[in-house]
A = this chain, B = another copy of it.
Amino acid sequence: MGTIEQNILKEVAGLDALPVGAYNIRTNGTSSARNTTANIDIVTKEDKPGIDIIIKPGTKNESVHIPVVVSQAGLKDMVYNDFFVGEGADVTIVAGCGIHNCGSADSGHDGIHTFYVEKGAKVRYIEKHYGEGDPGTTGKRLMNPTTIVHLKEDAEMIMETSQISGIDDTLRITEADLCDRAKLEIHDSIMTTGDQNADAQFTADLNGEDCACNIVSRTVARDHSKQHYTSTLNGNNRCAGHTECDSILMDQAYVLATPQLSAATTEASLIHEAAIGKIAGEQLIKLMTLGLTEEEAEEQIISGFLK
């Protein structure tokens, strides 16, 4: 693995060396390194590209890293990863993807991740998307992640997803269904710059009694970039749903927020909040009186906002 690939691994998965625990590193469309543990198995799919990650019931405090690196210009990588999280397990899954494109052809990665989280299991899922390339590169970096989450009774999942820089075009789809007492918490951060385009779509079916879903989205749109945010909460039982989308708009960027609440039962309690605006002047002035330049103050506010 060269310097470019190592740098991407660090950006998307925080890895300086091979991680502890189970991992599968996919580089330019093939598995370049893999480790399994007594409790976590990783099996290559036979019918299509991708892997099955099988986590035994009761597995605690273990982690799985499955970063993807695309450094070959013009490569369109597509992968189906299925996660089977056994009853009562409690694990962390880190699944970033980074693209380095220095060619004139577009590079892309489409990952379809499906989670089968069994009764009482807990998953913390971290996903970072990142792109880079030399100045003047014309090939685009494209990333279309689809995440499908099935949460059984009492299962819990926390998703921390982000795409902070370097992705020219993205369609981010997240779909979830929740059984009784299941909990889903999503924190999504997006920043777009230049002529980038980001489309994020969340749908959660709150089917189970006393299930709960909270989706918090923070986005920053700069330059001429465009963002479209859609979230749909379907309350089909006694449940609590909350979705929140706050966007900071800068330069000539454009943001469209389309949340949707659908309640089919009086026992559903659904709330949505959205706000689009620029950085508050007072915040900027406060930081500038502390000695920061206007630009530094903006960066400070943005990074705090996306955190």
Taking Cβ atoms with an 8 Å cutoff, the residues of A that contact B are 235, 247, 249-278
Q: Please give the distance in Å from A213's CB to the nearest CB on chain B.
A: 14
Q: Is B256 a contact partner of A260 (Cβ separation < 8 A)? A: yes
Contact of A263 among B235, B255, B258, B261 (CB under 8 A): B255
Q: Please give the distance in Å from A34's CB to the nearest CB on chain B.
A: 44
Q: How far is the CA of A264 from the CA of B250 in the complex (A)?
A: 10
Q: Please give the distance in Å from A222's CB to the nearest CB on chain B.
A: 10
Q: Is A268 a contact partner of B263 (Cβ separation < 8 A)? A: no
Q: Please give the distance in Å from A122's CB to the nearest CB on chain B.
A: 28
Contact of A270 among B258, B261, B265, B276 (CB under 8 A): B276
Q: Is B268 a contact partner of A262 (Cβ separation < 8 A)? A: no
Q: Please give the distance in Å from A64's CB to the nearest CB on chain B.
A: 37
User: Which chain B residues lie closer than 8 Å to A247 at the CB level?
Assistant: 263
Q: Is A260 a contact partner of B261 (Cβ separation < 8 A)? A: no
Contact of A262 among B256, B260, B273 (CB under 8 A): B256
Q: Is A268 a contact partner of B277 (Cβ separation < 8 A)? A: yes
Kindly name the residue among A247, A273, A275 whose own CB sees the greatest number of chain B CB atoms within 10 A. Answer: A275
Task: Given the known inter-chain contacts A270-B276, A272-B272, A276-B270, please indicate yes or no for A258 contacting B256, CB distance below 8 A.
Answer: no
User: Which chain B residues lie closer than 8 Å to A265 at the CB level?
Assistant: 249, 252
Closest B residue, CB atoms, query A232: B258
Q: How far is the CA of A292 from the CA of B91 in the complex (A)?
A: 52
Q: How far is the CA of A115 from the CA of B276 in the complex (A)?
A: 29
Q: Please give the distance in Å from A182's CB to the nearest CB on chain B.
A: 20
Contact of A276 among B252, B256, B269, B277 (CB under 8 A): B269
Q: Is B270 a contact partner of A271 (Cβ separation < 8 A)? A: no
User: Which chain B residues lie closer than 8 Å to A251 at the CB level?
Assistant: 266
Q: Please give the distance in Å from A166's CB to the nearest CB on chain B.
A: 23
Closest B residue, CB atoms, query A272: B274
